[in-house]
Amino acid sequence: MTSPAKIIDQELPTIALVGRVNVGKSSLFNKIIEQNLALVSDIPGTTRTRNMAVATWRGKNFRLVDTGGLTFSDDVVLEDDIIKQTELALKEADLILFVADIQTGILPQERELAKRLRNKRKPILLVANKADAAALFSHIHDTEWQRLGFGEPIPVSASNGTNVGDLLDAIYSSLNKLPRRPKKLKIFNPIKVAIMGRPNVGKSTLFNALVGEERVIVNPMAHTTREPHDTLVEIDDKHILFVDTAGIRRKARVSGELEKLGIGKSIATINKSDIVLLVLDATEPISDQDQQLAGLLREHTRSVIIVVNKWDKADDNSDEFRNNVKKDIYVAFPHLSFAPIVFVSALSQYRVHQIFPLINQAWAGRQIVVDEVTLTDFLKRTVKKHLPTKDRGVRHPRVVAIHQLGYNPPMFEMIIKSNTSLHISYVHFIERHLREEFGFFASPIVMKLSKLKHHTYTPQE
């Protein structure tokens, strides 16, 4: 039985960035963590779900949480969800950074937020962002800032980094007066697992179920998740970094710059992942979008686990129906024939626990290394069973040797007789037998073909 997920960064003191829309919270978040993690734009409501990351100052770590900009207006899409996410961040926070814009000054939204924050009874640092020029620093003495009741603000510029070091000093000093203080977090090398799929297949619901906490907004509206969100968890002494991604759909259907940026970040996430959970919707037929995304995963040589979500809504739950669905999936995704399939309901958490052992098995499959002697014996037996088939040309090919070039993902080189060519079907035949004999669970096998040079080849060369 898999034990519940333990979120690693919860051991650290937490700082929540809050403020109205367009005051530069996400820019400040990125500047402090020294990564381009959060989407930044002038569009109100760009940040919806809390962004979380570990920041470092003076050799110690703390957790930083970016929240959606507040308007206290019903005009902004998902405003209720954004407020809920902000409330969760404030509840967890040890220290609050109340961020405002020094150029526009204090607006009614700041006064409303100040009123709410006073009831939290938590230490608050007031931050005057966008102090991009020295002349703006004098505005911190304006009475409107004092009326908020949080003392004199710390002027910073997230865009050019001015005074961010002073802000971090103030954060460090404030945290050291609290029960949870900054500490050096142990460095982990986790299994990186990205959750991908087209919009509305239930990726965010699955992400929340896997990490054991409502970390991201779940809403039936397409493209609710605009940017990747990751959480590091420990499960049965294994460390896994789960990444929720924006839904990927065809270019013709992408609407607006934010969705384009979010999809770009999602695709970039593939390259940073070891394993991808490809989420399908059990209530809908496999679409062109699903097939295009599956092809993208094979090209990027990621290990893949196919997750059929919303299985609780399936018309039939018999083994026969389940096996027929598996056959249909493999027909639609012939290049993902190596990927195991699991049927779950993220909403009810039906069989979600089955994903964890599959992740461990997939990770182990990427690490397998086969020695030269064993591979030479494998090749002799396999070629004897089925002789190589030729591609173009009149000469019959002969596979001279095979050896492993690397792992994670597993990469092999097959050396064939010069002036001959090998049919791709035989390459796939060798790949299948490698998988059957040595494992490589859920992982693609990368095969390189080389021609034998004219001098005599020996396996040691």
The answer to whether the predicted template modeling score (pTM) of the entire model surpasses 0.85 is no
Helix ranges (H only) for 239-350 are: 256-272, 288-299, 319-332
> Is 458 a domain residue?
no
Mean model confidence pLDDT for the chain: 84
CA distance 158 to 167: 11
> Is 134 a domain residue?
yes
Please say which residue of 175, 210, 236 terminates a domain: 175
Q: What integer pLDDT is reported at residue 216 of this predicted model?
A: 58
> Is 309 a domain residue?
yes
- Least trusted range by pLDDT, from 17-31, 251-265, 385-399, 433-447: 251-265
> Is 70 a domain residue?
yes
pLDDT digits (tens, 9 = 90+) for 116-131: 898 888 999 999 999 9
Q: Are residues 79 and 139 in the same domain?
A: yes
Nearest to 226 by CA among 435, 26, 436, 8: 26
pLDDT digits (tens, 9 = 90+) for 359-410: 999 999 999 999 999 999 999 999 998 888 776 665 778 899 999 999 999 9
Give the list of residues 6+ apart from residue 164 with CB closer than 8 angstroms, or none: 28, 31, 32, 156, 157, 158
Q: Are residues 123 and 253 in the same domain?
A: no
Q: Are residues 400 and 353 in the same domain?
A: no
Q: Are residues 380 and 341 in the same domain?
A: no
Q: Are residues 360 and 429 in the same domain?
A: no
Residue 90 has pLDDT above 90, yes or no: no
46 in Cβ contact with 26 (< 8 Å): yes
Domain hosting residue 311, numbered range: 191-365
Residue 354 has pLDDT above 70, yes or no: yes
State yes or no: cis peptide before 153, omega within 30 of 0: no
Q: Are residues 344 and 444 in the same domain?
A: no
Q: What integer pLDDT is reported at residue 243 of this predicted model?
A: 86
Give the list of residues 6+ apart from residue 454 with CB closer than 8 angstroms, or none: 418
Q: Are residues 361 and 376 in the same domain?
A: no
Which of the listed ranges 49-63, 186-200, 248-262, 371-385 does the model predict with the highest average pLDDT? 371-385
> Is 433 a domain residue?
yes
Q: Are residues 158 and 250 in the same domain?
A: no
> Is 342 a domain residue?
yes
Q: Are residues 270 and 221 in the same domain?
A: yes
211 in Cβ contact with 4 (< 8 Å): no
Q: Are residues 348 and 296 in the same domain?
A: yes
> Is 244 a domain residue?
yes
Q: Are residues 392 and 340 in the same domain?
A: no
Q: What is the CATH number of the domain that holds 154?
A: 3.40.50.300
Q: What integer pLDDT is reported at residue 4 of this predicted model?
A: 73
Q: What integer pLDDT is reported at residue 443 of this predicted model?
A: 94
Ordered DSSP codes for 44-99? TT---SPEEEEEEETTEEEEEEE-PPB---TTSTTHHHHHHHHHHHHHH-SEEEEE
Please say which residue of 116, 143, 175 terminates a domain: 175
Nearest to 277 by CA among 350, 362, 347: 362
> Is 293 a domain residue?
yes
What's the total number of domains in the chain?
Answer: 3
Please say which residue of 175, 199, 227 terminates a domain: 175
Q: Are residues 148 and 291 in the same domain?
A: no
